[in-house]
Structure 1
Amino acid sequence: MLQRLPGAVMDRFLSLNLRTQMMIMILLMAIGSMGIILYSAQRQREADFREAAHLSLNLATLVHNDQKVLLSGAEQLLATLSYVEAVRLRDVPEVNRILAGLLKKSPQISNLLIIAPDGNVWASALPIHKPINAAERRFFQAALRSGRFSSGEYTIGKVLSKPTLSFGYPILDQQGKVQDVAVAAFTLTNYDTLLSSRNLPPNTSLLLLDHEGTILFGNKARELAGKKDRPDLFDSMKEGEQGTFIARNNSGIKKVTAYRKVYLKGESEPYMYVRTGIDEEWVVKKTSLPLMVNIAVMGAIVLLTALMALYISKRAILDKVRALREAAQKISAGDLTVRVNHCVAGGELGELGTAFDGMAQQLSVDIERRKRAEAEALAKGEELDRYFNNSLDLLCIADTRGRFRRLNPAWETVLGFPLDRLVGQNILDLIHPDDVSATADAVATLERRGDIQSFTNRFLHADGSYRSIEWHSVRPDGNIIYGTARDVTEKIKAEEEKLQLERQLLHAQKLESLGVLAGGIAHDFNNILMAIMGNAELALMRINKESPAVDNLQKIEQASTRAADLARQMLAYSGKGKFVVENIDLNRLLQEMLHMLEVSISKRALLKIDLHPSLPQMEADATQIRQVVMNLVINASEAIGDDNGFISIKTSSLKCDRSYLKKAWLEVDVPEGEYICLDVSDNGCGMDSATRNRIFDPFFTTKFTGRGLGMAAALGIVRGHRGAIIVDSEPRRGSSFRVLFPAADSTADIGEAVIRQESWKGSGTLLLVDDEDAVRGIASEMLQQLGFNLLTASDGMTAIELFAANPQVGIVLLDLTMPHMDGERCLVELQKIRPDVKVVMSSGYTEYEVTRKLSGKQLAGFIQKPYRLNALVEALRPIA
């Protein structure tokens, strides 16, 4: 900075004594430092405001995401509720009981209702003391109009008399018309817990508003609930999906404010606004205190520096400079005996004094020292040559054009070429073509920076293969490069194999979690299906064969059978079941599914199907293959979204070799041979590499309402059939999934199961044990239909008491999975009372799993849930 001053001012400054110059420099430094402190404080304050805005927006986003997850669960709950038979039959007591049970398991929901098309509430999780009509409510009208999950507005709930935000889900009859509207109501008070669990600035505020600006919830101003937001504040949230601004809130406190809009799928208007705020006063205080501390510290430093400058200028500089000046004059006169180290010691001036003292001595011994240095260099050169030739690492010297000038013998061992062929050759001539560009860039970096710490490329071996070489290189001067390298081919291969194994292990663990979930659902689902299938079968036996209801009952049986198949496949995921494998025609299966696929995809998507003629058959479970096709097609439809597009389904056969099968996801170990190809492709949004690497992870999804199970289940099914999946996708270029199934050897057709009616009758007393009321009810009717005298028990303890009190019991039909005392323990206790008791175990799991679990327990038989009357006959006839 001083060099830019006018010449006269600079001359005047340099003419001042050293102390004055030091004081002026200290003053200038203090002024500059003070400016930096003030500037930094201003920038810090701006950064604090940005941080507050970011923190506020993060909180709004957290609430936004939490609300999305909450609504996704509520929609799924209402959708599931719409399929409950009691709801469709309007069985009010049963539906009220179901709703009350669901409400206890969903603490975030304040009430569950079902409303008729005229607006009258006919079912509620909480008791209703007077008739309620919701015909004017926004959520009810929107659900009737749109036929989908819809949002409401702020209201005072007529059941709880609390501020409520409700959402409606239309329940459709078989003709697609709205039969009822299922409703989930929320009081939105759970966000107090969310705020208290996070480390937020004091007085952080959170407001939830409906689409009209009515305040639903406020953690700092609960009295505002139900009131309209200030118009200027509400208008500030109209632009964009999210944003930040600074304004005074409804209480007059200036806040750094952020907002997020919350939408329901299919609604163009947000049903909720999330607004958060952090006090501006908190942001200002963060900056003010450090500023005052910095100014005080700076003042103290300037004062201390000035005092030290006065002392140092004399003792450390002026006195030593005078002694050095006198010594320099003597040395210039030829007096090499002068010494100043005794009066000039310490610091840079002390080093200069030491240099003066050594100058004369250096002149007298210079020739001798030069000769000694040359001898040492020669000895070191011989040592380096021995090291160079005997090193197991690859050592080389090359020029900046990339030509080898010298190599050690290790190169011949690693690459198989003689050294005389390698010396003089350009490095790039030996590099793998894919690595030439990167190697050239590395050489350019070496020329620019002088060293490369680590770099790997592939070198040609004499046998035609390539070896991976890891480099460490330096360029000490302008034309020479020194390099050390090591053959890391085996190391890289081992690391790749380890990474592949870890990925497969991780995915296996994720699939295991999916299996546990599927097994639990299938077990409970089987009990429900038991009641449906049994009642339908008994009704068919008792009803007049000419009744028009016969066709409906048969359809119920067919649908229940299909549902039971699905439950068995879910057990297969959990490791508690197995596939029902048979020879199937993939073309025929796709033709049967065509209508279902067309109604399942977006109306904007065109479904194209291309079936290869004379397609070989495959050994597979038809239900599982249907699920794979459905998952892939729905996934393609969701990728197209609201845009126009197409979905292509194509079949073919292909002979696959090892190189082609390596393209499969996780490179599954499937044998070479003929495979049946199912190609499902779309022109949707596509996927980037990060998404492609996770699409088969359980619970991974890119959708707000998804469960993330479809693709993981599809992969599990395909791998269970000894097949593989190849994925090809790029962003904005669509996706293609190729599923490979091994072709079957035989050509058997899929046959229809024949249900055999039984006329066999049993006799004697039978004890039925099951914790599910529905299962006990239908099983009792079946057993009485077969002629048994019946005793029933709802748990293991009751069963033991009844068995001990009724010695005439000849057979026990025992459920495996019960609370308190399960079937295995109950079986042991029954055999203690009477060792020869005939026990038939019933379970949703397969006979293989149950008999393995109860090995050595002497079961008289087994029947798998859900079972029909003829299956019951087959299980009891041999022992009755």
Structure 2
Amino acid sequence: MDRFLSLKLRTQMMIMILLMAIGSMGVILYSAERQREADFREAAHLSLSLATAVHNDQNVLLSGAEQLLSTLSYVEAVRKRDAAEVNRILAGLLKKSPQISNLLMIAPDGTIWASAVPMAKPINAAERRYFKAALQSGRFSSGEYTIGKVLSKPALSFGYPILDENGKVQDVAVAAFTLTNYEKLLDSRNLPRNTSLLLLDHKGTVLFSNKPRELVGKQDRPDLFAAMKKEDLGSFSAKDINGIQKVMAYHQVYLKGESEPYMYVRAGIDKEWVDKKSSLPLMANISAMAAIVLLTALMALYISKRAILDKVRALREGTQKISAGDLTVRVNDNVAGGELGELGAAFDSMAQQLSVDIERRKRAEAEALAKGEELDRYFNNSLDLLCIADTSGCFRRLNPAWETALGFPLDRLVGQNFLEMVHPDDVAATADAVAVLERNGEIRSFTNRFLHADGSYRSIEWHSVRPDGNIIFGAARDVTDKILAEEEKLQLERQLLHMQKLESLGVLAGGIAHDFNNILMAIMGNAELALMRIDKDSPAVDNLQKIEQASTRAADLARQMLAYSGKGRFVVGNTDLNRLLQEMLHMLELSVSKSAIVRLDLHPSLLQIEADATQIRQVVMNLVINASEALGDGRGFISIKTLSLKCDRSYLKKAWLDVDVPEGDYVCLEVTDTGCGMDSATRSKIFDPFFTTKFTGRGLGMAATLGIVRGHRGAIIVESEPNQGSCFRVLFPAAGSAAELSEAPCSQENWRGHGTLLLVDDEEAVRCIASEMLQQLGFDLLTASDGRTAIELFSANPGIGVVLLDLTMPQMDGERCLVELQKIRPDVKVVMSSGYTEYEVTQKLRGKQLAGFIQKPYKLSALVEALRPIA
């Protein structure tokens, strides 16, 4: 560059003109290339526009053909296969549809029984693709390139299935197209000469070609056909079948319901047309540029002397005088007009401008001082935490908001290394963030915990920048409350999701237990009747007793499943939890490990609870056995404690699935052990059904415990850490009144019934065994498998005294059947039977005046107890 500037001005101008010419030539060549690319895009656009027009025209044509064939399917003559009449109709339609070459009607065996064009002999089209596709899919289907059997000309046919009243294909209506009409479409468009148009079927067979027409029926080149399969539409440059380089565009044509295109449309424009279109502007531009460069050179020689060289000489002489200190010289007097004249005027005002600049600099320094004071006021009054620190981690300046946030005075924080105040778990991440800040110059969002004066930690969210040097500017906010609120929300969402999962499993468990009870009914009943009828000395007695015992254990399992579902309460009343625990103490000591010591700590004035004592015993037993298993073979203590609590919402938030537990007075059962404890993963699954950490067991104990507690509108709080034991606090709503004990009715083994009894149950096994039991008791028996049959039998037999009615039945359940029976006879005696418990059934049928209830599976003795008071 220095060497260039040392040349004479005229030489520099000539070099610049030459460089300008070279640059202009580059621009022209670049523009020509861009124009050539634009011409290629135009050719591709024209090709794609033609392909799209054919695609759209074909879709309109097929839509009309499908509508025509659909209309034909409703013609009475077509339905009756009146060949003569249908031939006449098809011929008339063919005259009105010049784009269709033929219309056919084909029977399911492939025989063409009607044609718009007369057939010389019977023809079968069973092997045609459009026929087979229409039969298989039951919808409008496409064919492929074929030589028509009626016209003996190339055609593309489409089949439409005609369905009978049963939805089966009665016939296939066919429309055939020769596709020659696209010659007119091509001629009507203003396209370059030698533009080609091809239509191909799904196999690549040419259906239509304008140049040359001899390609019809031949296979397309595999590479060209493969290029059209990549996507629905596109363009590419390649040699066509005749070896001519073309810019091609294609469009796939689909039929509704078909996953592959039935036809491909490809249009092409010769590359030679593009090249000619691009070369003419290039030659014209080059010629014009040569003339301009020559004229510019001549003008530059003339202007350089008159407008530049003479004025520069005068300007140089005036500048030498000014540099010598003569500020009175006026250069502009010798250099008139133009930019050089402006330069002379600038020299004239230099001295005056220097004094103005000095004054302006003083003013700017004063303004900067004022702005600094404003920034200080903003820094000190901002509610955000603002700081200036160095990269070594020391605070250099802090605003007063830090004192409010952390509780330390500012003089204690300034000079402090902030890494010493960061929570130990966040030190490494904070150091990494400082490294990122040094490398990238900014950190937009980073959160760590800072020590507060009271010993706690506050979460601080940072936005820091490092413009240059070792200085860091930071802006932060205390987000502790925001993080705690988000964690609380997340915990609530997790609890709600878990509750929904347990609720769904509870519904499933209740349904399984209900059906299980029906099965056990047949097993237990048959075993009981067999024991009554068999000789007491028979060796089968022992087997029957074992069957009865196994059935009883299975019934206990079903009750556990009902308890988990929250539907397991039987007899609810005021219960003294202290008395219940004292009665169970001996049994609990026998149930736990020999190395475990059980301790009772009972509140002296404990409030009573409204509960089912039997299920509360199960809760206590499950918790104590779980505590014993946590102790393992080692020695340890199991503490059982009762107390009265007044629970507010903050305390109930700790409960397992506490969303529906209200505030108020609660009786607390606390079971604590000194065993192995649980980690967070085990605690989250402890109440899941079938979850167990033991090699044996079903995993239903704690799940049933949760179900019982939920059924009593209570809650469970679990506290446990590995190797630190576990504490289960079960909360039951307190009740005010004392427990009322009811005396159980005395059973009478020899009791006999009389009269007619109607047994209603949809389970055949239950009906069979219950019938035998009722006949054993002496009843005349009528049976019904559903509610409607029961109503008919009850209406036809006025002597029916008692109805033993199943609650859960299809079509008409027990509740609806009970209402209809009471309409017929309001004083009818109905004993309801169900696999669910009496509590659930009586709540469901409240106000329906039941005579009694018996829970499945039941024995003969339970049947006597239910029927004796009313039969």
Q: When the two structures are superposed, what TM-score results if normalisation uses the length of structure 1?
A: 0.50
Summarize deviations over 1:623-660 as a string: whole Å, max 9, x none. Answer: 9959x99xx99xxxxxxxxxxxxxx8889546799xxx
Does residue 501 (structure 1) correspond to residue 509 (structure 2)? The answer is no
Any conservation in 2 of the 1:842–1:864 contact (CA below 8 Å)? yes
- Deviation digits for residues 546-584 of structure 1 (CA, Å, limit 9, x no counterpart): 111111111111111111222222223333324999959
Determine the structure 2 residue equivalent to 1:621.
Answer: 618
Letter in 2 for 1:398: A
CA contact (8 A) 2:598 2:640 kept: no
Residue type at the aligned position of 1:675: T
What corresponds to 1:513 in structure 2? 504
Counterpart contact for 2:808–2:834, Cα < 8 Å: yes
Measured in 2, the distance between the counterparts of 1:858 and 1:528 equals: 28
For 2:779, give the aligned amino acid: F
- Mapping for residues 444-843 of structure 1, pairs under 5 Å: 444-578=435-569, 583=584, 612-614=595-597, 621=618, 653=637, 674-676=671-673, 716-717=703-704, 719-720=706-707, 722=716, 724=718, 758-843=749-834
Which residue of structure 1 lines up, in the alignment, with residue 844 of structure 2? 853
Aligned amino acid, residue 566 of structure 1: L
Structure 2: how far apart are the matches of 1:312 and 1:672? 102
The 3 A distance-change label for structure 1 pair 865 and 587 is: same
Residue type of the alignment partner of 2:451: L
State the SS of the aligned residue for 1:614. Answer: strand
Change (3 A) 1:737 1:532: farther
Question: 1:481 is matched by which residue type in structure 2?
Answer: I
For the residues of structure 2 that align with 1:476 and 1:407, how far apart are their CA atoms?
18
Q: Give the deviation of 1:519 after TM superposition.
A: 2.1
User: Cα offset for 1:26?
Assistant: 10
User: C-alpha separation between the residues in 2 aligned to 1:464 and 1:553?
Assistant: 72
Q: Which amino acid aligns with 2:467?
A: P
Tell me by how many angstroms 1:391 deviates: 1.4
Aligned partners of 2:280, 2:503: CA distance in 1, in Å?
A: 70
Change (3 A) 1:656 1:613: closer
Structure 2: distance between partners of 1:319 and 1:360: 40
Secondary structure of residue in 2 paired with 1:621:
helix
2: distance between equivalents of 1:801 and 1:559? 39
Q: Does 1:876 align with 2:867?
A: yes
1:867 to 855, 858, 871: 858
C-alpha spacing 1:743/1:390, structure 2 compared with 1 (3 Å): closer
* Structure 1 gap ranges (5+): 1-12, 32-195, 197-252, 254-278, 343-355, 591-609, 634-647, 682-686, 702-708, 729-735, 745-754
Indicate if the aligned counterparts of 1:768 and 1:792 stay in contact, CA closer than 8 A: yes
> Would you say the 8 A contact 1:762–1:788 is kept in 2?
yes
CA distance in structure 2 between the partners assigned to 1:503 and 1:312 by the alignment? 77
Opposite residue 451 of structure 1, the aligned amino acid is E
- The answer (yes or no) to whether the contact 1:665–1:725 under 8 Å persists in 2 is no
The equivalences for 1:169-180 within 5 A come to none
Cα distance between partner residues in 2 of 1:714 and 1:284: 66
Deviation at 1:865, TM superposition (A): 0.9
User: Could you say if the C-alpha distance between residues 696 and 22 of structure 1 is closer, same or farther in structure 2, counting changes exceeding 3 Å?
Assistant: farther
Pair 1:409 & 2:400 matched: yes
Could you tell me how far 1:737 is from its partner in structure 2? 13
SS at match of 1:858: coil
Structure 1 residues 870 and 656, CA, compared in 2 at 3 Å: closer, same or farther? closer
Q: Is the 8 A contact 1:843 1:863 kept in 2?
A: yes
Shift of 1:738: 8.5
Match of 1:440 among 431, 439, 448: 431
User: Quick one: structure 1 residues 718 and 863, their matched pair in 2 at CA, closer, same or farther if it must change by over 3 Å?
Assistant: closer
Q: Percent identity?
A: 63
Amino acid aligned to 1:533: M
Measured at CA, do residues 818 and 828 of structure 1 come closer, stay the same or move farther in structure 2, by a change above 3 Å? Answer: same
Residues 791 and 365 from structure 1, CA distance in 2 versus in 1: closer, same or farther, beyond 3 angstroms? farther
- SS state at 2:389 partner: strand
Q: How many angstroms apart in 2 are the aligned matches of 1:303 and 1:436? A: 70
| C-alpha distance 304-529 of structure 1, shift in aligned 2 (>3 A) | farther
State the number of aligned residues: 540
Amino acid at match of 2:832: M
Secondary structure of the equivalent of 2:506?
helix
Between stretches 546-555 and 829-838, larger displacement belongs to 829-838
Q: Which amino acid aligns with 1:716?
A: A
The whole-number CA distance in structure 2 between the counterparts of 1:375 and 1:324 is: 48
Match of 1:393 in 2: 384
1:778 offset after TM fit, Å? 0.7
Q: Is the 1:817–1:843 Cα contact (8 Å) retained in structure 2?
A: yes
Change over 3 Å in CA distance of 1:784–1:697 after alignment to 2: closer
Q: Residues of 1 paired with 2:510 and 2:304: CA distance?
A: 92
Map 1:91-490 onto structure 2 (within 5 A).
Answer: 286=230, 292=236, 366-490=357-481
For the residue of structure 2 that corresponds to 1:857, the secondary structure is: coil
Letter in 2 for 1:621: Q
| 1:484 counterpart SS class | strand
Look up the match of 2:252: none
Does the CA-based 8 Å contact 1:515-1:575 persist in structure 2? yes
What secondary structure does 1:760 align onto?
coil
Query: In 2 relative to 1, CA 787–828 (structure 1 residues): closer, same or farther, beyond 3 Å?
Result: same
- For 2:672 and 2:719, the matched residues in 1 are separated by 12
Which runs of 5 or more residues in structure 2 are unaligned? 1-14, 34-136, 138-202, 204-222, 239-245, 249-270, 320-330, 341-346, 572-579, 601-614, 642-651, 662-666, 692-696, 710-715, 732-745
Contact 1:500 1:666 (C-alpha < 8 Å) held by counterparts? no
Judge conservation of contact 1:460–1:467 (CA < 8 Å) in 2: yes
Partner amino acid, structure 1, of 2:798: P
- Closer, same or farther in 2 for the Cα pair 1:561/1:312, shift >3 Å? farther
Contact 1:324 1:340 in 2 (8 A): no
| Structure 2 contact 622–702 (Cα < 8 Å) conserved | no
Q: Distance in 1 between matches of 2:844 and 2:670?
A: 38
User: What are the superposed Cα offsets for residues 100-125 of structure 1, whole Å, 9 maximum, x if unpaired?
Assistant: xxxxxxxxxxxxxxxxxxxxxxxxxx
Taking a change above 3 Å as real, the CA distance of residues 781 and 790 of structure 1, as seen in their structure-2 partners, is: same
Distance change (3 Å), C-alpha of 1:307 and 1:850: farther
The higher radius of gyration belongs to: 2
Cα deviation, 1:326-362, whole Å, max 9, x if unaligned, reads 99997996789999999xxxxxxxxxxxxx9x99999
Change (3 A) 1:315 1:470: farther
Q: Cα offset for 1:503?
A: 0.3
Partner of 2:91: none
Answer yes or no: is the 8 Å Cα contact 2:517–2:555 preserved in 1.
Answer: yes
Deviation at 1:491, TM superposition (A): 1.0
TM-score relative to the length of structure 2: 0.51
1:787 aligned counterpart, secondary structure: coil
Instruction: Give the drift of 1:716.
Output: 3.2
